[in-house]
């Protein structure tokens, strides 16, 4: 790494962090005027109104960094799509647009990325003839399903301070470490550094670990994180880049996907809307068992990091097919345990005894 790159790597996180703090401070002062405030109610644990400006601040930092640099065309299309998604998310935070409008916006921006950015899922990397043919025929619908699904998964896990952003930090770190371990370098590392730095500073503010007033992501922020994470994984696993195995991408977002799939399945089974709010997420299970919010956060993020690491190791050290089978098996185990919370209660009581 030459001196110019060393300086860039040192200055970029500082620039991103200071910019995010500035944007949060300004937006917080305007939050009530803009009606970007989350007020307490029977479903929410905070006692005072909290500004919903974290996602907008992250978005503004990323756009600022892109304007300073020379982003590739695909990144320009991503930021154009994200701009639409964030705008809809802000309107939803203010007016409550409803599920159908959010879903339509997600479909729109995903199609924009496919047609404008010109890339989608074309391979699962399993070297099986019938799989390759299926992906070739169903690649675009599979991409739409994956992107919209992961976007909503991050939105759904945004239930306690630091959780959605914490999952994003772990996912980005998993991607970066995997790329470095497999290839010896990280392609487009500046993009990952910008993202990670912005989300990390927000995470600190969200957990009240800074002098700034606590802020939330809002729907604009959680949708932003899920959408960007989805396309980051597609970018690194599909041609022409294809520097990470597609099965490894599944393990980069293990726990948010597991949690969302099981909660949606439970809601459908009880004839509820898949997007109706409830208290059946993993963090709710831990909190209802008496665990503090902070401890629940640390346990869940620890589980997330461990699952990601184990899955990546099996993908490259054993085989992608075995790793995929393990992923499905663990999803089944997770679903069974989540549908029988007494198992978790008994396990915790033994661990804490």
293-349 pLDDT per residue, tens: 999 999 999 999 999 999 999 999 999 999 999 999 999 999 988 887 676 666 666
**Which band of pLDDT confidence, cut at 50, 70 and 90, is reported for residue 91?**
very high
Residue entry with tokens 């799509």: 81
Q: Kindly tell me the sign of the dihedral angle through the C-alpha atoms of 179, 237, 173, 321.
A: negative
Asked if pLDDT for residue 353 goes beyond 60, the answer is no
Supply the mean pLDDT for the chain.
89
Q: Burial letters for 19-33: b for 16+ Cβ neighbours within 10 Å, e otherwise?
A: bbbebbeebbeebee
The per-residue pLDDT for range 246-272, each reduced to its tens digit, is 999 999 999 999 999 999 988 888 888
Please give the full DSSP string across 186-212, using - where no structure is assigned.
Answer: -TTHHHHHHHHHHHHHHHHHHTT-SSS
Say how far apart CA 179 and CA 195 lie, in whole Å. Answer: 16
**Which band of pLDDT confidence, cut at 50, 70 and 90, is reported for residue 4?**
low
38 forms beta bridges with: 50
The per-residue pLDDT for range 274-287, each reduced to its tens digit, is 777 777 888 988 88
Say how far apart CA 341 and CA 296 lie, in whole Å. Answer: 15
**Residue-level pLDDT at 98:** 85
Higher pLDDT, 171 or 130: 171
Note the Cα 288 to chain centre separation in Å: 24
Q: Kindly tell me the sign of the dihedral angle through the C-alpha atoms of 99, 101, 104, 110.
A: negative
The per-residue pLDDT for range 202-227, each reduced to its tens digit, is 999 999 999 999 999 999 999 999 99
**Residue-level pLDDT at 242:** 92
Asked if pLDDT for residue 128 goes beyond 80, the answer is no
Return the C-alpha torsion angle 324, 233, 156, 98, nearest 10.
-130
**Residue-level pLDDT at 162:** 96
On whether the CB atoms of residues 155 and 39 are closer than 8 A, the answer is no
On whether the CB atoms of residues 106 and 99 are closer than 8 A, the answer is no
């Amino acid at each position: 790494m030459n001196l110019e790159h060393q300086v860039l790597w040192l200055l970029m996180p500082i620039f991103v962090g200071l910019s995010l703090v500035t944007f949060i401070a300004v937006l917080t002062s305007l939050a009530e005027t803009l009606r970007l405030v989350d007020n307490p109610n029977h479903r929410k644990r905070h006692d005072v109104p909290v500004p919903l400006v974290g996602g907008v601040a992250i978005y503004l930092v990323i756009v600022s960094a892109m304007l300073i640099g020379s982003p590739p065309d695909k990144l320009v299309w991503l930021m154009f799509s994200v701009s639409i998604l964030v705008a809809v998310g802000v309107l939803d935070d203010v007016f409550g647009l409803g599920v159908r409008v959010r879903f339509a916006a997600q479909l729109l921006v995903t199609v924009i990325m496919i047609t404008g950015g010109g890339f989608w899922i074309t391979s699962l990397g399993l070297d099986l003839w019938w799989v390759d043919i299926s992906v070739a025929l169903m690649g675009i619908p599979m991409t739409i399903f994956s992107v919209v699904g992961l976007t909503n998964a991050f939105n759904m896990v945004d239930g306690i301070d630091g959780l959605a952003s914490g999952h994003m930090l772990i996912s980005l770190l998993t991607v970066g470490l995997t790329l470095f371990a497999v290839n010896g370098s990280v392609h487009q590392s500046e993009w990952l550094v910008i993202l990670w730095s912005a989300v990390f500073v927000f995470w600190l503010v969200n957990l009240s670990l800074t002098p700034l007033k606590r802020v939330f992501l809002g729907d604009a922020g959680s949708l932003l994180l899920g959408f960007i994470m989805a396309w980051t994984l597609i970018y690194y696993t599909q041609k022409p880049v294809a520097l990470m195995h597609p099965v490894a991408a599944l393990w980069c977002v293990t726990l948010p996907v597991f949690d969302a799939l099981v909660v949606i399945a439970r809601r459908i089974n009880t004839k509820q809307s898949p997007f109706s709010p409830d208290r059946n997420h993993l963090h709710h299970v831990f909190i209802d068992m008496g665990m503090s919010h902070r401890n629940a956060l640390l346990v869940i993020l620890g589980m997330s990091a461990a699952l990601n690491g184990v899955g990546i190791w099996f993908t490259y050290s054993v085989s992608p097919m075995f790793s995929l089978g393990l992923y499905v098996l663990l999803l089944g185990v997770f679903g069974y345990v989540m549908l029988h919370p007494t198992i978790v209660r008994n396990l915790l009581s033994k661990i804490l005894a």
